[in-house]
Structure 1
Amino acid sequence: MHYSGDYHIHTPFCLHGSNDPFESYVIQAIKMGLKEISFTEHAPLPKDFVDPVPNQDSAMNWSDLSTYFNEGNRLKNKYNDRIKINVGFELDYIEGFDRDIRNFLNEYGKQIDDAILSVHMLKTPDGGYHCLDYSADAFADLITLFGSIDNLYQKYYQTLLLAVQADLGPFKPTRIGHLTLIEKFSLKYPNPMNQLNRIKSILQEIKSRGYSLDLNTAGLYKPDCQSIYPNLEIVKLAQKLKIPLVPGSDSHQASTLAQGFDKIKSYL
């Protein structure tokens, strides 16, 4: 085994995830021989932000925060001689909500063991917000909204750059989530334009700040992607820049912990 942990895992507090008990993830990780896991639940969205997906289930509820920490800490203590458990968040960077995100981190940062900063929500030309990875049909609507698929990709990478550069205070996550998530539907909606220069500038920013990248295997199991995030070309560029790569399955159920890690072990 070339990896010791899975550092991107969701929990029953994820409204769009599974109902697997919190503890079942820990038991599964121990069974697999993992030495460490990070629970990175979708942090509650800013209170003034309206979740654009139909069921408004992109992130955990504000009312669940204390239960999430309490249950996570209970498991940490129960299993501390068998596995290292980190309790934290996958935090959404949403353009225009820097202050809200900073306030959240300032309030809860001391309780966070590990965290990821990701972009799922894009500000659209009509001034609204849309979730970029909700479904292939919703992605097609986004292409129409932006006028072309390349405009959409450009907006995603611009927003990602904003996330890397944002001043979110002392508790800002320093690991950038699924860098090429925009490629989730790329087999159905390919972009003929090359993104390399855009991505290179983001990698330089990540390198200059000493940040790391989420090496995320979830895309391998998405029918319209079938690639890790970031894709292999970008992984190799990150390696040349000596940007740390942190393996994550992005599991939303216990049975998929460390899924696909055999395919990324040579990069770890």
Structure 2
Amino acid sequence: MTLFVTDEEMALLLYDIQDLYGYDFNAYAKASLKRRINRLFALDRFPSFAEFRFRLRTDTAYFGRFIEQITVNVTEMFRDPAFYLALRKEVLPLLATYPFIRVWHAGCSTGEEVYSMAILLREANLLHKSILYATDINPQVVQQAASGVFSMQHMKQYSENYILSGGRHDFSSYYTAGNNKVLFDVSFKKHMVFSTHNLAAESSFNEFQLIVCRNVLIYFEKELQARVFDLFDTSLERLGFLALGSKESLRLSPANAKFRQVSEQKIWRKVI
């Protein structure tokens, strides 16, 4: 007989996780979260919910696996090339007027979009005066992102994305390859700071000119989305930019009044 974690059992798990580890998943979209918890429950073949719960409560290493499995880490370099083309044409020329540029990749996953941004900034001759803060709730993916190492098998697709985004150089010039892996130019790391950060619970930690948070908010309930938009509002300086995913919008958020959409590629500018 196939066992599933019920809504009541999931509520117990979420309480345990918040109580023991300080991670609050209560405002995440319940249907999506439940699917991922049940997938892990089945994948690791627990004979009962009680044993699953006990393992999570007593084994910190297994909790790391839990975080890795239930957080969504779907990303690629120059994902949605039209978005990056809009950044090149509509945002970077304005950021160029700043003496220093701080960019926050909130929910950076394994880092592909952070390195994409570094390439854009270098090609616009702005990287030398920029720092990219890359954060995620999942410590494992933050560590992977910080390594700058990615699978060789994706590079053909990433190169095509790069060209469609307006890139004019040889994409392979940005990395060295070996053993089916690639290592991106280590000089990029001088302009990057990687750290864990929980959008659901933690506060602002700097003032930014650009915040990129794409395809993260779709996994949050409306109340948490509103809280995160308030966090971004607090974290952006006036006239700073906020970039969201293709299915995300500020329009129904109370923070919308402070922003003006400046691109159909889901880019807003803080005007108040």
Same fold (TM over 0.5): no
Q: Which of 1 and 2 has higher RCO (CA within 8 Å, sep 6+)?
A: 1
Q: Give TM-score, length-normalised by structure 2.
A: 0.30
* Greater fraction helix: 2
Which one has a bigger Cα radius of gyration?
Answer: 2
Q: Give TM-score, length-normalised by structure 1.
A: 0.31
